[in-house]
Amino acid sequence: MIESMPIVDAHHHFWDIPRNYHPWLCDDPMIPFRYGDYSSLRKPFLPPDYEAATGRFTVMKSVTVEGEWNPADPLGETRWIHQVAKEYGRPHAHVAQAWLDLDDAEEILSGQADFPLVRSVRHKPRSSERPLPGTETEPGGMSDPSFQRGYSFLSRYGLSFDLQTPWWHLPEALKLGEKYPETRIILNHTGLPSDRSTEGLAAWRSAMKTLAQFPGAAVKISGIGLPGKPWQLEDNRSIILDTIEIFSVDRCMFASNFPVDSLVGNFETIFSGFFEAVRDFNERDIRKLFAENALRIYRIED
């Protein structure tokens, strides 16, 4: 039964609104968001709330990801997350904020690496709104020399890179991986396959195959809800199975993206859907997808 299976949730968030400042959650007007209205997220989400959301499921370990805390204070969120972990025993690893294209990138990476739970950092590189040629040199994008300068420091501090970008920028990510092969790239939210047309899915699969050529790339299967629709396996089965086929069982992890994905489905719906999608896999591979890969990739003690 999925409820008794040990789970390592490879991607979720904690925040304490309005006590802590996350511009997208605190400021008005609200920003355009891929799931639409997110006003229900503008309240605290702390370990007791997460435990209530996970319900009967056995989430033995979990990884928090930076929640776009005040960019003027990237170490502040990490310091707060460690206070949360000390009080509640969760999370067990953290993906910290770092702006790689800024002049102080190395100083921030050094500071983040000093915290015992930090395994990776996230900087959402600048991206185009739709697949367009000629965007690779955008300031703040993956091909920006300033970004690459900051990225080059990651291996020095033993940090991975959590990449959140639309799938049409994944060829850039492959070039980044080939240039800095010692740094693991962990793709967030399955490459954001929002266009579910036949043509859109074909282009997404091609881009995912491109990134998968980099042996140091892994992917979190999460964030695959559709705006205005409840989370349904019928909408997502091919996304899940194609991702696993492209990257292999050993480089994929299931993750909740809570509380963000609570906008499209509850934890039980999403994780039961993951399980149903891979029900015919062997037991060892299922354990990898739900727990073992996340323990290894985020270097969490079992």
Model pLDDT for residues 82-109, shown as the tens digit of each residue? 999 999 999 999 999 999 999 999 999 9
Model pLDDT for residues 149-178, shown as the tens digit of each residue? 999 999 999 999 999 999 999 999 999 999
Is the pLDDT at 140 greater than 70? The verdict is yes
Domain ranges in the chain? 2-297
**301 vs 279, higher pLDDT:** 279
Secondary structure element (H or E) that encloses residue 217, with its range: strand 217-221
Q: Is the pTM of this model over 0.85?
A: yes
Confidence at residue 208, expressed as pLDDT on a 0 to 100 scale: 98
Non-local (6+) Cβ contacts of 114 within 8 A are: none
Please enumerate, as own/partner, the contacts of 237-242 that have beta carbons within 8 Å and a separation of 24 or more.
Answer: 237/277, 238/201, 239/190, 239/193, 240/274, 240/277, 240/278, 241/277, 241/278, 242/205, 242/208
Q: Residue 130: pLDDT band by 50, 70, 90 thresholds?
A: confident
Task: Please name the residue ranges forming H helices in 188-282.
Answer: 198-212, 233-247, 267-277
55-60: average pLDDT: 95
Model pLDDT for residues 188-229, shown as the tens digit of each residue? 999 999 999 999 999 999 999 999 999 999 999 999 999 999
Is the pLDDT at 252 greater than 90? The verdict is yes
Non-local (6+) Cβ contacts of 144 within 8 A are: 101, 125, 126, 137, 138
Confidence at residue 49, expressed as pLDDT on a 0 to 100 scale: 98
Q: Residue 139: pLDDT band by 50, 70, 90 thresholds?
A: confident
- Provide the mean pLDDT of the chain: 96
Model pLDDT for residues 21-51, shown as the tens digit of each residue? 999 999 999 999 999 999 999 999 999 999 9
Burial class for 233, CB neighbours closer than 10 Å (0-12, 13-18, 19+): middle
CB of 186 closer than 8 Å to CB of 161 = yes
Confidence at residue 137, expressed as pLDDT on a 0 to 100 scale: 62
Confidence at residue 5, expressed as pLDDT on a 0 to 100 scale: 87
**207 vs 128, higher pLDDT:** 207
Confidence at residue 20, expressed as pLDDT on a 0 to 100 scale: 98
CATH fold, domain 2-297, is TIM Barrel (3.20.20)
Is the pLDDT at 185 greater than 60? The verdict is yes
Cβ neighbours of 121 (radius 10 Å): 29
User: Helix %, strand %, coil % for the chain, to 5?
Assistant: 45, 15, 40
259 preceded by cis ω (within 30°)?
yes
41: helix, coil or strand? helix
